[in-house]
Structures are given as C-alpha cells and as structure tokens.
Structure 1
C-alpha cells in the first residue's frame, strides 16, 4: 500500500504544512459528482483512530480506513488545471472518470 507525491506536490505540501502547523496531508475520497467518487485533499490537524499514515520524504499523508482501498497506489501531483493550480491525482483504482475529471468510478462500482 502506498501514496506518493511528485516533487512539485511534495514542495507544495511541505509549504502548506510549515505555514499552518498541520501534521501533514489528509487524503481520501467522498461520494460526489456524476461518476461516484471524488478525491479530497486537506491539511491533517489530527490523527484519527482509523487512519493509515504514509510518509513520503518527511511528509505524512493520513488516509481514513473507508478511503484506503479506493486511493491505494495514487500518485499526487500539483499543477495547472484550466486557469488555476490544483492537486492532480493519478489513481490506479479509477476505471472511469466523468467528462470534467472531477469524479471517478472503480471496478467495484461497476459490478
């Protein structure tokens, strides 16, 4: 099991964590959009009992138990999307995405 960050995402998260005093990055999914699941990234201010914690070059990534199987193996990047900058996710569990790329479906959702 793993979550990785590209060098650009790593630098961005390091800066956010240093400026906020957070523990690291909280990463998971929520039900949303037309395909079913949407990635969620925020600052982790606490470790929850069901969290799995990954560490990537000193940055901790906290993933809740419900999200873990849906995001395992994801590479988090940071870059331009449209007119803004945002986190980008390369999730090997996503078998389909909606047209705008905001939500995804897994093989388990199709069964």
Structure 2
C-alpha cells in the first residue's frame, strides 16, 4: 500500500474496507514512522478483524466519544457534591466546593 495522499505534507497509510454497506477508512500510521512491511502487517490484521465481524472504525469513534476527565468531574460535582455535600457544610461555607471546582480543570489537563 502507498501513502494515502499525493498532497504536500505528512503521508499516512490507511486501510479501506466495507462494513454494513459503507466504505470505511482507518489510519494505520505515518510514512517514515512505520515501514511498508509494518504497514502491510497491520493492514492484514485489520482486514482479519473485519472478517471476524469487528468494525475498527466504529471502535475508534466510540473511543473518541467517551467521557473526558473534565466531563466526569463535572458530572460528579453536579450529581454528588451539590446534592450531598452542601447540606453538610456549615451555612455559607462553600470553600470545599470552590476548591473542587479549582482542582477539576487542572486534573483534567494532566
């Protein structure tokens, strides 16, 4: 297989297959970072997965749609902290909530 594009810039090896009546493409790797032999081996493995009924492009899409740490922290804050911890804090003391809201963005960036 050859790199996918004739345009200037980085070249990427791709494997193309049909699944459920749709043509799908999956990026295998960048030219120069993997050899042609490695690319062919990975493409054969991918075609084998498709033959076994796996849809690699859909698995990649599901992984990209998964919740981020920031989204999980926000959901925890909304569902648990606001409902349970606020009633336990002394009246007017929201220091714990402010601390959590400051930690959450920095934890998500790591």
Q: Which is richer in strand?
A: 1
Which band: TM-score by shorter chain? under 0.3
Higher CA-based Rg:
2
Question: RCO higher in 1 or 2 (8 Å CA, sep ≥ 6)?
Answer: 1
